Amino acid sequence: MNDELILSGMSEREIAIRRRVHRLAEFYRHGFVYLIVNSCLWALNFWMLWGSPAQSKWYAYWAIWPTFGWGIGLISHGLSVLPFWNFFSQDWEDKKVKALMERAEK
């Protein structure tokens, strides 16, 4: 996140919320670009196959590979940002650091 979005006098909570919103916005942009680019790839794939005898062959649909590979990346990005999976979140990291610091002090 840009430090220019963090103003002096902001509370820690507000900074954390701004960072979370920034990460969510990045994920939504990632998803939007994924949809646009993969839609174009599939349109190109179908255009290239139009009227081709290979149209009935599964291997003629090459657009599946970038869609699948990038989809794995998009899913992992979503797991690190969205609230239904807290294992990769900043909150989890903060709690883990705090727990390890407390254990080291004992």
81: number of Cβ within 10 Å? 19
pTM: 0.70
- What does the pLDDT read at residue 2? 57
What is the end-to-end Cα distance of the chain in Å, rounded? 34
* Nearest Cα to Cα of residue 82 among 32, 23, 31, 33: 23
What are the pLDDT digits (tens) for 29-52?
A: 999 999 999 999 999 999 988 887
Query: pLDDT per residue over 62-72, tens digit each?
Result: 999 999 999 99
Report the pLDDT value the prediction gives residue 36, as an integer from 0 to 100. 98
Contact present, 34 and 70 (Cβ < 8 Å): yes
